[in-house]
């Protein structure tokens, strides 16, 4: 795995998108706020807040939804939850080892320090605030993606794999009250 480059053209474009879409709306700044609302739809803000949940809150609701569909025994469901959570926990150990090996800046740090990142195409914005609070660990690689993928992999290997592919599932998030994410299929 190679660390993304901050000075590559794609890194510059990604940083500009993050600055625009990942910013907290600054209601007290008039015209700037109006520009942010135009490029920062409520659905995107809700999606960002929804996925601000971390750890078991991001995969256990889906596992619960899948486990409750069939007439499975408590032992089968306990095993399913144990396997999914062990896989996600193992993945988190690996991902945090990689996070500190790469030690890649979070967007809030990169945007506020754009003048010292070695890329002349970026500028600093010391007042920039992220839409959701920033965790106190490096950005790369993505812990949400890796841990949730590991949990789902264990679920997909369970006995209900084929039946689960065509089933709908849903999840709510403690970080976005009233927002529900729905899947038509899982696979």
Question: Is residue 5 within 8 Å of 11, Cβ to Cβ?
Answer: yes
Task: Enumerate the β-bridge partners of residue 172.
Answer: 180
φ, ψ for residue 82, nearest 5 deg: -65, -45
Mean pLDDT of 24-49: 64
Q: What is the CB neighbour count within 10 angstroms for residue 165?
A: 11
Q: Give the pLDDT confidence score for residue 13 in this predicted structure.
A: 77
Q: For residues 176 and 50, what is the distance between their CA atoms, to the nearest angstrom?
A: 5
pTM of the model: 0.76
Q: For residues 53 and 36, what is the distance between their CA atoms, to the nearest angstrom?
A: 24
| Domain edges within the chain | 9-183
pLDDT digits (tens, 9 = 90+) for 65-76: 878 876 778 998
Would the pLDDT of 9 be above 70? no
Mean pLDDT of 34-59: 75
Would the pLDDT of 36 be above 70? no
For 95, the 3-state DSSP assignment is: helix
């Amino acid at each position: 795995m190679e660390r993304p480059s901050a000075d590559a053209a794609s890194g510059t474009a990604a940083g500009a998108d993050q600055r625009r879409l990942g910013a907290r709306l600054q209601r007290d700044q008039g015209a700037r706020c109006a520009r942010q609302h135009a490029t920062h739809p409520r659905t995107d803000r809700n999606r960002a807040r929804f996925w601000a949940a971390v750890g078991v809150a991001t995969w256990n609701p889906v596992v619960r939804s899948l486990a409750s569909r069939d007439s499975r025994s408590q032992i089968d469901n306990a095993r399913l939850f144990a396997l999914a959570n062990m896989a996600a926990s193992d993945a988190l150990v690996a991902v945090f080892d990689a996070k500190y090996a790469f030690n890649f800046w979070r967007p809030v740090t990169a945007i506020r320090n754009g003048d010292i990142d070695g890329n002349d195409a970026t500028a600093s914005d010391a007042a920039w605030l992220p839409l959701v609070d920033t965790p106190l660990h490096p950005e790369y690689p993505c812990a949400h993606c890796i841990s949730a993928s590991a949990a789902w992999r264990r679920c997909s290997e369970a006995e209900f794999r084929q039946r689960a592919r065509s089933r709908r599932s849903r999840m709510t998030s403690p970080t976005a009250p009233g927002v529900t994410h729905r899947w038509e299929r899982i696979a």
